[in-house]
Structure 1
Amino acid sequence: MDLRCWTPQAPQSLVNPMEMSLCLLLLLLAASTIQHQTLSDQDLTLQMLVWTYFKPKVCYRPVLSVVSVHKFHGRKPFTAFPGSPKGTSSRPEGIQYQLIEDVEDLGKYCPGGYHPLRVGDALNHGRYRLIDKLGYGGYSTTWLAQDLQCPRYVAVKVITADASGSTEEASTIRSLQESSDRLGKEIVPPLLDEFWVSGPNGKHRCVVTPPARMSLFDAKESSRFGLFQPKVAQSIIAQLIRGVAFLHSQDTVHGDIHLGNILVQLPKSIDQLSTPELYQRFGEPESEAVVRIDNKTLPSGVPAQVFFAAWFGVRSGELALGEEKIILSDFGESFNPHKSPRYSSKTLPLLQPPETRFSDEPLSFSSDIWTLACTIWEIFGQRPLFETFFPTQDRVTMEQVQVLGILPSEWWEKWDRRSEWFDEDGELNMTPGVPRRHDGVRRTWEMRFSHGIQEARAEAGLEIVTDEERRAFEAMLRSMLKFQPKERATAQQVIQSEWMNGWGLPALEQSWNSSNSALGKIRGIKEQDLN
């Protein structure tokens, strides 16, 4: 098992010793039970256990413009998993492929699933020539393409056939772009084109937007310390708050705000590079052959080779002020709460607001505010605000109560497993003889701020947060993290907070000035622009 790219990320003081002991016990049990397995099965078993407990340090293919971090591609047996919440893809039963790490689910190359593509293919009557792969999701692959009509590079998102008919992402983006409001609109990606392509797995919607440099998640994960420069973090947060305020002013809840959906834009100068120059600077496309375990012929609709995502980004600590212009991606979960009530969240479990579990009321703008606050914390520091291994509903609720205090009484009574962590006053349950699932240490807001932000910044050689900014930052986030949705600050109120006016907006203005932007002074925005 190759662990060269695996490093534990959680600060030791934030790791629950009971859970660590459980993980070590599982590893010992695994070692005693897999001794008769094949090497690849042992590798997979151990890697699944390690993945459960340690976040991997993301490794990328060599990039000539930054220090190279080599990528190790493993080959392990892989079985296509059934079912997709957004479609009814008809997967060939029993087919197994050699596992190729860091690529899309090969089992989704089937009727209703992904469209098979390769570098060099041309789409939309030859207009877009695929240059490299940018990434993938559960319902799409995204490619860097050369627009042969307008000399520029674009991102082409090719959606799975089953999801193509139901997605309203393109229409949502188009509607937002048509708005006459200005404040925060720049966070919405321009929709450059939309077309359809037919293939062996069905008919696929394709959406064309400007290409992104990287996601904030990738920037942090590729970095040793997982931190942005303080001014850069402040500017990104200010942009994000302004962008969410714009969405809400247009009656749009994003529904899936997290670091992976916040993208740093590529500089326009990339359009000046020819394809050979692009490859010289960022590396040639890399691929690996798709092989069945039984060595039989691949089914129709499965590509002969699959490509790894390119890396055009920089590590978080290397992103300079003036280079951090962001866009918010993936509007596939967005909705208008006045027209399309929604009662469940599909965002990451640790970012889901408590009402998704305890309330019968539909989600609204306030659910975005909760998720926005969690994301802001992670941009500002090193670690997430809420963090637990095996993030079940109970563990997520436990984290929320540890940090923010006892739930509202009607929700507290609904939580039937609360006594495993807390007494009836919301304190850690230390009653003798009562089974408990904690180690006796409450990891408070203050402790998490100290370890995940202050100590992390000091270790990275960055300026720590002043007491004045810390108080303003905490006040802003706590106003966004009220348990009751109706008590949370609105996006407009967050814009008007002390932290935004004292730190966020000044950093954004400094960024605009340093990048010679013509956007002008943000202090001159009139009050009606906030409505």
Structure 2
Amino acid sequence: MKIFLRGVRGFTRRPASPARKIRSSGFAIIDEAVEIEEERMPHYKTSVYYPVRIGDIFHDRYQVLNKLGYGANSTVWFCRDLRQHNYVALKICINSSIVNREVEVFKHIAATRSKHSGASYVRSMQDSFEIKGPASVHQCLVQEPMLASLYDLQCALNPKSLTEALLKSALQYIFAGLDYLHSEAHVVHTDLQAKNIMLACSDPTVFKEWERMEEEEPSPRKVDGDQVIYKSRQDFALRKYLQAIGPCMIADLGMARIGKQHEGFIQPEIYRAPEVMLCMPWGSAADIWNIGVMIWDLFEEGHMFSPGGDNRKISNARMLGEMIALLGPPSQEFLRRADETLAYWNHEGQWKGFAEIPDYSLEDCEVYLEGENKKLFMSFMRKMLQWEPEKRATARELLQDEWLNSSTKGV
């Protein structure tokens, strides 16, 4: 075996692996007229996505083996690290005039890493670099590959709501990670949803199987001249790998903010905290509200709030009316924090009636639990769902919650 020295006594490095041989035939061709994957994203343009080909080698070390996923801002690829002889996920961002914060946030987090146990449940960045595409430059992030997302797990279940035991387990990881982000790194995630909570893989042989599956049956693809769009591997479905599920990891920090207080719109509309909707300053408590609403999607099999369309005022009014039904009216002290509240309430704090206040309570909407267990769960939810951000429990406080730490029947 050859030994490579790097000028440091005792340092050795294994030689790089040879590139994998990629099949050039035997794959299904998708009709050019059918829109697939990132083509179906809003405002899709061919020119903003890097034209990745399976078999490409990036940064002289990461060879693309197949496609893991896509989104409005990136595509994600399963790769072999030819230097470290392991598998990685390569996220290739679109070229955009909007500043990409993710690398900055990951570097900030890396600089603040501590012995805090929650740091283990925030996905880290192993490497980053830029590549020149046909139109502009693309930011690339290298990370540990994950098995799937919490959303994928939900879709694999029947019914599609997480069991109480699964929900508690996931939340313990999430709150531990959030406590680290909020209290140590001073980072607000701002985009917490099931698709951005990833499941680590406890069995590395799964990744070898992913590579083998691509060798045996190459990914279907759509070929339009020089443009190739691959179909993400559907046969990586989580149902096949339930025994390999590891801890939950907070991921996708592209919308995160560094610091304790901020202004401006954040969060998917259905998860948007009231202080954000009403143009007030916001901080880490917005993430706590976000988690509270996300729990409803995971456990109750439906959204807690119903946005009302493209008109922001009408949509806000509908959601605020639903918040009043579930939480009771906000205090006048809270309403005096921003002039935006006068669009929906008068100076005396009375609702102007731009949307109906539904006739139900938070307890009415919960349908799975009973008795004392339901009472504890409602108490847990109300610790997160408070109008005033400062009244919401912190991630650390929620980790100590009685319902979250109670035993679940049948487990």
Rounded Cα–Cα distance in structure 2 between residues aligned with 1:264 and 1:174: 22
How far apart are 1:474 and its partner, in Å? 1.5
Matched, 1:445 2:362: yes
SS in structure 1 at match of 2:38: coil
Query: Is the 1:109–1:201 contact (alpha carbons within 8 Å) kept by the matching residues of 2?
Result: no
Query: 3-state DSSP class of the match of 2:266?
Result: coil
Q: How far is the alpha carbon of 1:322 from its aligned partner?
A: 7.3
Given the superposition, is the C-alpha separation of residues 180 and 107 from structure 1 closer, same or farther in structure 2, using an over 3 Å criterion? closer
**Which residue identity lines up with residue 263 of structure 2 in the other structure?**
Y
Distance 2:97 2:87 in 1: 25
Match of 1:433 in 2: none
Is 1:500 aligned to residue 400 of structure 2? no
| Separation in 1, partners of 2:379, 2:72 | 36
Q: Which residue of 2 aligns with 1:384?
A: 303
Query: How far did 1:354 drift?
Result: 0.6
Seen in structure 2, the aligned counterparts of structure 1 residues 167 and 486 have a Cα distance that, compared at 3 Å, is same
Cα separation, partners in 2 of 1:223 and 1:271, compared to 1, 3 Å: closer
- Cα 1:437/1:466, change in 2 over 3 Å: closer
1:196 pairs with 2:130: yes
TM-score (norm 2): 0.78
**What aligned pairs does 1:90-129 form with structure 2 within 5 A after superposition?**
98=33, 100-104=35-39, 105=41, 107-110=44-47, 113-125=48-60, 127-129=61-63
SS at 1:273 equivalent: helix
Counterpart of 2:251 (choices 321, 329, 334) is 329
1:484 is aligned, of 382, 388, 396, to 388
Shift, 1:319, TM fit: 7.7
Give the AA of the match of 1:307.
Y
Separation of aligned partners in 2, 1:349 and 1:333: 14
Task: Supply the RMSD in Å over aligned alpha carbons.
Answer: 3.3
**Residue 143 of structure 1 contacts residue 155 of structure 1 at CA under 8 Å; is this kept in 2?**
yes
For the 8 Å contact 1:263–1:326, the answer to whether it is kept is yes
Gap regions ≥5 residues in structure 1:
1-72, 76-97, 291-297, 430-435, 455-464, 511-531
- The one-letter code matched in structure 2 to 1:383 is G
Q: Which amino acid aligns with 2:362?
A: W
TM-score by length of 1: 0.62
Distance (whole Å) between structure 2 residues aligned to residue 469 and residue 319 of structure 1: 31
Q: Give distance in 2, aligned partners of 1:324 and 1:170.
A: 25
- Counterparts of 2:269 and 2:258, CA distance in 1: 22
Inter-CA distance 331–163: structure 2 relative to 1 (3 Å threshold):
farther
The Cα shift of 1:325 comes to 1.6
CA contact (8 A) 2:321 2:358 kept: no
Asked if 1:308 corresponds to 2:308, the answer is no
Say if 1:182 and 1:218 are closer, same or farther in 2 by CA, change over 3 A: same
1:340-489 alignment, distance < 5 Å: 341-360=261-280, 362-388=281-307, 390=309, 392-409=315-332, 411=335, 414=341, 416=343, 438=356, 442-450=359-367, 454=368, 465-489=369-393
Name the structure 2 match of 1:253: 188
Per-residue deviation, 1:385: 2.2
Map 1:132-171 → 2, pairs under 5 A: 132-162=66-96, 166-171=99-104
SS of residue paired to 2:66: strand
Three-state SS of the structure 1 residue aligned to 2:229 is strand
Q: CA deviation at 1:228?
A: 2.3
Identity of aligned residues (%): 22
Query: Which of 217, 233, 236 is the matching residue for 2:151?
Result: 217
2:25 is aligned to: none
1:88 match: none
Residues 283-310 of structure 1 show CA distances to partners (whole Å, capped at 9, x for unaligned) of 63121234xxxxxxx7xxxx52211222
Q: CA deviation at 1:253?
A: 0.9
Aligned CA distance change for structure 1 residues 253 and 74 (closer, same or farther; 3 Å): farther
Contact 2:55 2:65 in 1 (8 A): yes
- Separation of aligned partners in 2, 1:186 and 1:218: 21
- Once the two structures are superposed, the pairs formed by residues 516-527 of structure 1 within 5 Å of their partners are none
Q: Secondary structure of 1:379's partner?
A: helix
Which residue is 1:518 aligned to?
A: none
User: CA, structure 1 residues 377+108, in 2 after alignment: closer, same or farther (shift >3 Å)?
Assistant: same
Structure 2 unpaired stretches of 5+: 1-29
Aligned residues: 367
- Summarize the Cα distance change of 1:437–1:393 in structure 2 as closer, same or farther, 3 Å threshold: closer
